[in-house]
Amino acid sequence: MRTVILIVEDDSDINQMLRELLKEQGYGAVQAFSGTEALFCMEKHVPQAVILDLMLPGISGEEVLAQIKKDYPKTGVIVSSAKDDVQTRVALLRAGADDFLVKPFDTQELLARIEAVLRRRADFGEITKSSENDGILEYKNIRIQQENHLVYAAGQEISLTKREYLILELLMSHPGKVFTKSNIYESVWNEEFLGEENAVNVHISNIRQKLSKVCPEETYIQTVWGIGFKMK
């Protein structure tokens, strides 16, 4: 089956350029020029990936992203924006964006990121959210109560530091997504990532050790070599 990618971009020249680029690479390309049109296209045919501009007429790109991740969680979303501040990237990652490109971007870089997102989307875990209580994340036998920041594994409370908690919460919020070390660092430390891989590795190791004390036979966090981490 042909891979379909939805282009959500109100600039007609950029939209058309992306369409031609994708078709040259053998992808099926669907065009939308507003947030409303994008969601309409999603209802007609769910694409494997979306290239999403933020500055859209009507429904904003942020709102489109939230709706896509709510209704079509297996669709990968690459956000393209002229905004390049850490706060914007952190907010988009937490909202479920799979990747982020700053305009103007190199077309070869875009194609490489599309390929990476498509590879990752083939292996999604499952997450359930309590139908009775908002703010409850559950994955395997881990339960997070977001309101009071409590974490349980197999019914036993796990004591995590603030950053350990934030990392686990981030991973569990989007268990099918592979988070790079840069993604994790910028989301949790709220600072630009300057290669501080050891800080992320140490915190991931600590989380694993604390969970393994309760459930030694279970593996919760998977290392995706050369990319980052995700829930197993």
Residue pair 35/61 in contact (Cβ under 8 Å)? The answer is yes
pLDDT digit string (tens) for 43-98? Answer: 888 888 999 998 888 888 999 998 888 888 888 899 998 887 888 888 888 888 88
Query: Are 161 and 89 members of one domain?
Result: no
- Domain end, chosen from 120, 137, 169, is at 120
Query: Are 141 and 108 members of one domain?
Result: no
Query: Are 147 and 181 members of one domain?
Result: yes
Domain that holds residue 39: 4-120
Query: Are 152 and 74 members of one domain?
Result: no
pLDDT digit string (tens) for 146-161? Answer: 878 889 988 888 999 9
Torsion (CA) 87, 90, 91, 96 in degrees, nearest 10: 160
Query: Are 115 and 9 members of one domain?
Result: yes
How many separate domains does the chain show?
A: 2
**Hey, which bits of the chain come out as E strands?**
4-8, 28-32, 49-53, 76-81, 99-102, 128-129, 136-139, 142-145, 150-153, 156-158, 179-180, 221-224, 228-231
Query: Are 27 and 103 members of one domain?
Result: yes
Helix (H, G, I), strand (E, B) or coil at 109: helix
Query: Are 17 and 113 members of one domain?
Result: yes
Total-model pTM = 0.58
Q: Rounded to an integer, what distance in angstroms lies between the CA atom of residue 95 and that of residue 117?
A: 16
- Domain end, chosen from 96, 120, 144, is at 120
Query: Are 184 and 92 members of one domain?
Result: no
